[in-house]
Amino acid sequence: MAASDKVDARKLKPWIVRLTREDGDHCQGCGRAFQNLDVSIVGYDAARHLLIVGKCCVDRLLSAVAVSLYIAVNSNKPWSEDDRVWFAGHPERAHRLRRAYHTEWPGMAGMRYTVVRHQAPGRRHRLGVVACRRTAAGGRRSFGGESLGDLSTARLNVLKGMFEA
């Protein structure tokens, strides 16, 4: 797909899906394997090819069209096992909201909650969220130790990730 093609998001998505299926686990600039929670960037190189690269090769891109967070499959993290067990016990559920593990979102201060979308056995997407509520003056303040039940009245600010059907 050439960079000169005028493309809207609906037309770009199939190309990105195709790239990730071909080899979405490696930087397409240098071949380095992505690690869990590595940032990956989709963009066009000088030859006008659409590539998925890591921070290591971002300088090879002339323009960027998407940025994502690489989540390793079967990463043996405690939250992966917790989510697996939870969805096994709740097969009728497609989503789960839970408190984030302390080490789940490194470098992302304020990620107090995680929304998990179950797609298939062994396949889940996670989304880190910060819960806020409006103060009387119209400003926002972060929740402290409130229970998950308080989230029903919260305004959720999504910071990373995207869920699509």
d(CA 102, CA 112) in angstroms, rounded, equals 9
- Asked if residue 60 lies in contact with residue 45, where contact means CB atoms within 8 angstroms, the answer is yes
Distance, CA of 5 to chain centre = 27
d(CA 35, CA 31): 12
Task: Read off the tokens for 136.
Answer: 């009387």
pTM above 0.85, yes or no: no
Per-residue pLDDT, averaged over 122-149, amounts to 61
Instruction: Find the mean pLDDT for residues 145-156.
Output: 40
Q: Say yes or no to pLDDT of 31 above 50.
A: yes
